[in-house]
Amino acid sequence: MVPVLDVSPDAEALAQRAAAWLFDQAQAAAGRFTIALSGGSTPRRLYEILAAPPYRDRFAWARTHLFWGDERFVPITDALSNFRMVREALLDHIAIPPENIHAVPHEGDAAHSASLYQRELQRHYGSAALGTAGALFDVTLLGLGTDGHTASLFPGTTALDERAAWVVAVPDGTPPPRVSLTFPAIAASRLVAFLAAGPSKLAPLQRVLAGDAALPASHVTALEQVVWFIDAAAQGG
């Protein structure tokens, strides 16, 4: 699958481009529209744009369902929580039905929370087997770490080898423990959109685009297309 590169002059323009693209995808979708969200500073700016006019009032929030691609195993009120970041940047400002917000549970340990989240995904999907009910997500948003990780799929961790589960605990990545979608779950997305900005992303981006198998992000696929929203600094100026 050949990725599509969408290059903006800076991080702000990148976030604006991604917001317009996501809006168009939601508008074109017939019925329910499901997104897996990413943490990070670049996605946060995207969420802030969506939480303000014109998208706040025009986005199809009533038929949009929000999941999380990964989460730190901390309470949702914790400063490290991806849910808290999305709530502050987006959820507190839009008219989305509460039942359309599917946060990663924080119950027991990370493994138990992962199993609960997989069950919630299967309930929403309508099947316990991927590929039997269309795309799991319409769009999955992802970031790119300087080490080539994406979601909470870090180099050298056991989560990279998971091929059956949709969601796994990641106890051996960057602390604290994480809960993350797996490669098969991400690959069940109709579209994947990476957001990468700044010169620190130049080296890992070049390696991923060259197909360096040592970087987890190199293994991401989608049912239809992988799009990279990047800025000039991430492209090399």
pLDDT (0 to 100) of residue 173? 83
> Which neighbouring-strand residues pair with 227?
4, 193
In the CATH hierarchy, which top-level class contains the domain 4-175+186-235?
alpha beta
Q: Report residue 72 as tokens.
A: 């730190």
What's the chain's length in residues? Answer: 237
Q: What is the mean pLDDT of residues 207-215?
A: 98
237 pLDDT exceeds 80?
no
pLDDT tens-digit series, residues 99-124: 999 999 999 999 999 999 999 999 99
Please, which pLDDT band fits residue 133 given cuts at 50, 70 and 90? very high
pLDDT (0 to 100) of residue 100? 98
pLDDT (0 to 100) of residue 232? 98
pLDDT tens-digit series, residues 142-164: 999 999 999 999 999 999 999 99
* Selected residue with higher pLDDT from 1 and 42: 42
- Distance of alpha carbon 19 from its chain centroid, rounded? 14
Whether 114 contacts 32, CB under 8 Å: no
pLDDT (0 to 100) of residue 209? 97
pLDDT tens-digit series, residues 49-91: 999 999 999 999 999 999 999 999 999 999 999 999 999 999 9
What pTM was computed for the model?
0.98
Task: Quote the percentage of the chain above a pLDDT of 90.
Answer: 97
Q: In 10 A of CB 95, how many CB atoms?
A: 9
Whether 31 contacts 62, CB under 8 Å: no
Helix (H) or strand (E) holding 14: helix 11-28
Please, which pLDDT band fits residue 1 given cuts at 50, 70 and 90? confident
172 pLDDT exceeds 90?
no
> Which neighbouring-strand residues pair with 191?
139, 225
Domain ranges of the chain: 4-175+186-235
pLDDT tens-digit series, residues 7-42: 999 999 999 999 999 999 999 999 999 999 999 999
Among 135, 111, 115, residue whose Cα is nearest residue 124: 135
